[in-house]
A = this chain, B = another copy of it.
Amino acid sequence: MKIIEGGICAAKGFTANGIHCGIRKNKTKRDLSLIFSDTLCAAAAVYTTNLVKGAPIAVTKRNIADGYAQAVICNSGNANTCNYNGVEIATQMCDLVADELLINASNVVVASTGVIGELLDITPIRDGIPALVSGLGKNSAEAAEGIMTTDTVRKEIAVSFEIDGKECHIGGIAKGSGMIHPNMATMLVFITTDCAVSPEMLQKALSSDIQDTFNMTSVDGDTSTNDMVTILANGQAGNDVIDTDDDNFKEFMKALNTVTVYLCRSIAADGEGATKLVECIVEGAASKEQAKIAAKSVICSSLVKAAMFGSDANWGRVLCALGYGVKDLDPSTVSVSFRSAKGEIPVCVNGAGVPFSEEIAKEILLEKEIEILVSLGSGDFKATAWGCDLTYDYVRINGDYRT
């Protein structure tokens, strides 16, 4: 397996585009994206568990209920959520783009991201679709930009791998930034592959993968109303269709996981206002569940996040977050270290502080990627969670998001 260029257009048969159609006032920001496969794809998706759900989620669910899709349309600048006409608008988006692509509207995945509770005007979308479609090409970057909200960098990746001697590709784009605390499903992520996978196994792969990737990522503890991860597999790599849990499926899962972990890290590192990617790696847990809860509890603590912003080795806050987050924790067997490219420093062993150089700790924590290593000392299970620091800019961005 190797990392390659091309994002969501790395897989054969996929093209994409992203334009500014006018939903966002700033004309330099793209606000409408399209992903298209020239043949029908097996499709799978996972959605937010928030009970307040964006209208596009209802329409997408309906459209891929049969396990197949061929295109994804997504706008930024407006979430089309908590509006009386949300489903009607989302359906229109599918109809309009399907007409232009000459495909069936029931094979379109639709998504929206942005402000909640403001009506989404179909006019700029209708007017933009001809240019959006005519500009389809190997434009993964443009599509990745069209789904950004407060993201500062676009997020895309692709890998190539082999199944049955056939070269396969899988690529993805994501938007993250704020309202990021996926639960069962996640932010907006679109993944494409030319690997042949049955709809059932594709859903199985995705549902399984997100448990350790997107569901282990948090920027601010707020689970969005519009979270969605979808994957389209058009089978153009020519491998025998993966339709059972065999070695090929495992190989596919490995490639998928490389893509999703990369996107999780990108989303965390580009969290609203973030200056640092913070990774909490828990080992020695009594169960997988305990490991995951421990890692997420640390990553979600506002106090830990603020300490990371200040490059402050305040490990007491890590212990505190473990203590309120983890049932059955035995504090007396917990150890904590901080690690980065500058080295690793143990700060707590068996529940009590150990002497350490504040100077070296500071040097380690001043890096852009920080690992908080936690050993629970009560078993063999591990988990990793991704988050970011809490900064002045998070407050600035969210203090007046709508203006």
Contacts and interface: CB of A to CB of B under 8 A. Distances in A.
A52 B320 contact: yes
A-side interface mostly: loop
A303 B51 contact: no
B353 A117 contact: yes
Contacts of A317: 116, 179, 222
A320 to B, nearest CB: 5
5 contacts: A82-B316, A82-B351, A82-B352, A115-B314, A394-B395
Contacts of A331: 51-53, 82
A134 B257 CA distance: 67
B398 A306 contact: yes
A21 interface: no
A233 to B, nearest CB: 30
A220 interface: yes
B398 A116 contact: no
Interface string A60-90: 0000000000000000000101111000000
A345 to B, nearest CB: 14
Interface stretch (A39-47, A246-254, A322-330, A377-385): A322-330
Contacts of A306: 394-395, 397-399
Contact of A319 (B116, B392, B399): B116
A303 B178 CA distance: 8
A301 interface: yes
Contact of A315 (B49, B117, B353, B390): B117
Contacts of A310: 398-401
A33 interface: no
A353 B390 CA distance: 30
Contacts of A302: 220-222, 302, 394, 398
